Amino acid sequence: MILITGASSGIGYDASLKLAGQGHKVYGVARRIEKMDSLRGSGVVPIRMDVTDEKSMEEGVQAIIKAEGHIDVLVNNAGYGYLGAIENVPMEEARKQLEVNLFGLARLTQLVLPGMRERRDGRIVNVSSVAGKAVVLFGGWYNVSKYSVEAFSDALRIEMRPFGIHVSIIEPSGICTPWGSIAADNLERCTTGTAYEGPGLKMAHNMRWAYSKHFMSGPESVTRSIVKAVNAWRPRVRYRPGRGASTFVAFHALFPARWWDALVRGLGKINTR
């Protein structure tokens, strides 16, 4: 039995369909259950769950365990992006991003682990990002959240392996989903009227162009990695789907820090006059 968060759109929606089509029992969860109605016909069971709400997560997990007896696989896919200069991003938004991308993921993992540990079998698949490996312009708080998912997943893998529980991390590059336009809107809102307006608006415009023109890889590329992590006898620790993901991470590892800083600053010129 598989539980997938963020199943109302994009990667979560596509992965739910694919795994259900392979014969897995899939529970797709998201805040807006009405957006998952079309999944029902494919055998996916939609459940409303808010990963920032403790009670919502506890009730959701309990309902699934009551119906199925156990949860075999948890795919932590729900994510949120609020881009902008660190100086300008409201702390409320910074905290919200960490709440969704890290603490919600961590708490839901805590809720499913006891059953997996008792059975000495289970899989946790955390959808991170190449942004968890390298900082990009105006990515500050989003980078913080994804770097944290990387560290959390590594620590969890070390702790859980003796209990037969595999932990895999998915590190996509840019993927053509609604995330891109939402992040661009947030970036524009956050930088308008500030010292970062020029490069911020330019970057928001470029993001909208890239996502609308399908320059990015589609969600199915990430779904393939999720499916491998779920089905493989011995899943890999990390998967890097999407165009340029492995190259991006390799460049960051090879470049001296100042070279990388100059490269990402090249995405926009901040006017200091």
Q: Is the pLDDT of residue 122 over 80?
A: yes
The single-letter DSSP state of residue 27 is E
- Tell me, yes or no, whether 264 lies in a domain: no
- Tell me, yes or no, whether 186 lies in a domain: no
- Tell me, yes or no, whether 246 lies in a domain: yes
- Tell me, yes or no, whether 205 lies in a domain: no
Residues 128-187: tens digit of each pLDDT = 999 999 998 999 999 999 999 999 999 999 999 999 999 999 999 887 777 778 888 889
Residues 230-259: tens digit of each pLDDT = 999 999 999 999 888 898 899 889 999 998
Distance CA 43, CA 121 (A): 24
Check if the beta carbon of residue 255 is closer than 8 Å to that of residue 263. Answer: yes
- Tell me, yes or no, whether 149 lies in a domain: yes
Edge-to-edge, what's the strand order for the sheet holding 45-48? 45-48, 26-30, 2-5, 73-76, 122-127, 165-170, 238-239
Check if the beta carbon of residue 10 is closer than 8 Å to that of residue 178. Answer: yes
Residues contacting 170, CB < 8 A, separation 6+: 125, 126, 127, 128, 222, 225, 226, 229, 238, 239, 241
CA 18 remoteness from chain centre: 18
**How confident is the model over 180-197, as a mean pLDDT?**
88
DSSP 54-107: HHHHHHHHHHHHHHHS---EEEE-------S-TTTS-HHHHHHHHIIIIIHHHH
- Tell me, yes or no, whether 168 lies in a domain: yes
The whole-number pLDDT of residue 12 equals: 94
Catalytic positions, written as ranges: 142
> Looking at the 3D structure of the chain, how many domains does it have?
1
**CB-CB neighbours of 137 under 10 Å:** 20
- Tell me, yes or no, whether 156 lies in a domain: yes
Distance CA 72, CA 202 (A): 44
- Tell me, yes or no, whether 230 lies in a domain: yes
Residues 96-109: tens digit of each pLDDT = 999 999 999 999 99
Distance CA 113, CA 71 (A): 9
The whole-number pLDDT of residue 239 equals: 97
Closest CA to 184 of 207, 160, 211: 207
pTM of the model: 0.92
The single-letter DSSP state of residue 220 is H
Give first-to-last CA distance, the chain, whole Å.
58
Check if the beta carbon of residue 122 is closer than 8 Å to that of residue 112. Answer: yes
Domain of residue 45: give its range. Answer: 2-176+218-250
The whole-number pLDDT of residue 241 equals: 94
What ranges in 120-177 are assigned the alpha helix state H?
Answer: 140-160
Domain CATH code at residue 128: 3.40.50.720
The whole-number pLDDT of residue 203 equals: 87
